[in-house]
Amino acid sequence: MIAILWFGCKPGIPDGIIKPDKMEKILYDMHIVDGYLSSIYVVDSAKKVAAGYYKGIYKKFGTDSVQYNKSLLWYNTNPVALEAMYKNIQKMLAKQKKGTELADLMIRKKQFKTDSLVIAKKFKADSLAIRKKMKPDSLSKVKAVAAIAKKKKQADSLINIKKAGVASAMPAPAVVQ
């Protein structure tokens, strides 16, 4: 009798509340989406996009907004369980941030290496002939001109990307029959 009362009265997660491991994954995805949405400056656009993302998360985990909100309220009244989940979420977010920074670093290194090789191939033959005729002062001027040319090329490519984005955002002309 005592054993039945002991196990029957033990506080636990009630029925209808999302279990901690699943809730942790849902909260992680929610925070990722919230971070993305905070980068959208037009509030109406963010709201339109948000609904689709949240529905996708609910579908992914086989739940709905009612059960999610009910579970979140329950976890807010049980801070020990919520704190344990957020420690794990914080670790997952830190791991993802570290991976993203590593990927960005690799892209930057590859881009720099590619740019350096292109510049070296372009100016190798000419610069050897010019260096023999130049004074040490004029060599630094050539490097400065090359750096300015590179910046101009980058600016031109950004302008072309923006123009392409505007052109693709414009509606196609209507066909008259």
Domain boundaries, the chain: 14-105
Tell me how far apart the alpha carbons of residues 130 and 148 are, in angstroms, rounded to a whole number: 19
pTM of the model: 0.55
User: For 139-164, what is each residue's pLDDT tens digit?
Assistant: 555 566 667 767 666 665 555 555 55
Q: Which of 50-59, 90-99, 104-113, 156-165 shows the lowest mean pLDDT across its residues?
A: 156-165
Own/partner pairs, 12-19, CB within 8 angstroms, 24+ separation: 13/74, 13/81, 14/74, 16/67, 16/70, 17/70, 17/71, 17/74, 17/75, 18/61, 18/63, 18/67, 18/68, 18/71
Q: 57 is written with which tokens?
A: 């998360």
User: For 3-43, what is each residue's pLDDT tens digit?
Assistant: 444 444 446 788 899 999 999 999 999 999 998 898 888 88
Query: DSSP 3-state assignment of 85?
Result: helix
Tell me how far apart the alpha carbons of residues 93 and 130 are, in angstroms, rounded to a whole number: 53
Please answer whether residues 28 and 97 qualify as being in contact, where contact means their C-beta atoms are separated by less than 8 angstroms.
no
The pLDDT, as a whole number, for residue 95 is: 92
Q: Indicate the average pLDDT of the chain.
A: 75
Q: 132 is written with which tokens?
A: 């023999």
The pLDDT, as a whole number, for residue 155 is: 60
